[in-house]
Amino acid sequence: MTDAFEALAAHERETAAIAQVAGRLSWDQETVMPRGAAAQRGEEMAAMEGILHARRADPRLSEWLAALEAAPEALTPVAAATVRHARRAHDRAVKVPARLAAEIARVTSVSQGVWAEARAKDDFAAFAPTLGQVLALKREEGAALAQEGDVYDALLQDYEPGASAAQLSAMFDALHPRLVALIDAVRGADAPPALSGTFDESEQMRLTREVAKTFGYDMARGRIDKAVHPFSSGSGNDVRITTRTSPTDPFNCLYSTIHEVGHASYEQGIDPNYLLTPLGAGVSMGVHESQSRIYENQLGRSRAFTSWLFGQMRERFGDLGPADAEAFYRTVNRVHAGFIRTEADELQYNLHVLLRYDLERALVTRDLEVADLEEAWNARFEADFGYPVDRPSNGVLQDVHWSVGLFGYFPTYTLGNVYAGCLHDAMRAALPDLDAALAAGDLSGATGWLRDTVQRHGGLREPRETIEAATGAAPSEEPLMRYLETKFRDLYAL
């Protein structure tokens, strides 16, 4: 038993280290890689995926796992979780042919560049054939994983183990009408003005680094760079984030950073004893998103924290437009028309996600084909938001996810918001003086509570169990909707 676990642990540690190197290649591709290197990078990524796939499908894993699973009572909780993760990864690997895994890595690496160029030119037709390639490969992968079961559910397991489309759809169907009703009510009320003027982009980056550290991001184990699409990458002692700047919208930079700091803090906060083990990364994208969204919204857009942020921005940029901290809070939380998911206000964000969830599910199940995707996107967007998409880069081409094969990822954004609503209720109960701390720019109590209840455990528990252990209740959409309704009825005097 001991020999089997030691052999398994050593194998998994080396696999995790190689996966981190592969992740660094992806970070490099998004930030500083020369454009002309795209085809070569595709080959490099395919080679790395081939190595990783071979390790995860290694026949020795079957022997070690069988020996350990034969006596589960002898396993500690950490060992049992390690075996659970290793079993899941191994079973997945042996179902997907090595040829297919490498081809997906190669095609999606190249596809990302094709998407970026098509987005810049507002030309969906230029991207459609490549997207068709990616989709065909992901359908093939999903079918291999599903083994006659639901193909979309099989793909979903890569991002939210244990979840199903039926479960998510029931939750989302409960959210959708209440969101639409609240948004309609808010649209009929007077909106606060936006910020006015221009904001030096270098100063934005200086401020955003200070805010990142305020939220607990350890710059000795991380870095902040600029990219078209903000993201977080890595785990353990090398966790990097990116953001973006706009001279007329400093909130884009600040809140993109706070969001990614939530992801990064989760990875940095995991028990160091789990480093380079199956437990040494966030347990799911839904739980990951719960951290980024609670950092960004329930903490970062709160009345208390924005009163502190108002002073910080006034010091650096002078007059912002809003006369005082209360007016600034209203401006930060302004509900506004827009096309871009990552720039959406807190209230409308989930409608963007639900649109993508429904469309990608239809693509995977062949109820929708790539040739009809743009039309379907535009029709759904206008139905949900009340105005038409003006160009592809503001519509079907805005997100990178499908170009890199992340089918099954989108629903975890809204699931993360649901989890964040649950965590926020529990945090408020545990920290009665939270607002006083936030108003002073002190995030340590909030981020410390999240680190203790969620982050340090990494992959020790299953996703829903992680939230249940932190909150004492099963996840539900009700806390999120109660929070949104209370906040925006107050803001808009409804």
List the catalytic residues: 260
Sign of the dihedral defined by the CA atoms of residues 31, 37, 42, 47, in that order: negative
259 belongs to an annotated ligand binding site: yes
Cα–Cα distance, 458 to 477 (Å, whole number): 23
User: Is 289 labeled as ligand-binding?
Assistant: yes
CA distance 392 to 94: 38
Q: Which of 7, 18, 106, 109 is nearest to 59 (CA)?
A: 7
CA Rg value for the chain: 22
**96-99, long-range: CB within 8 Å, 24+ apart, which pairs?**
96/53, 96/141, 96/144, 96/145, 97/144, 98/50, 98/53, 98/54, 98/57
C-alpha–C-alpha distance, residues 302 and 225, integer Å: 26
Which residue ranges are tagged as binding site? 259, 263, 289
Which residue ranges are tagged as binding site for Zn(2+)? 259, 263, 289
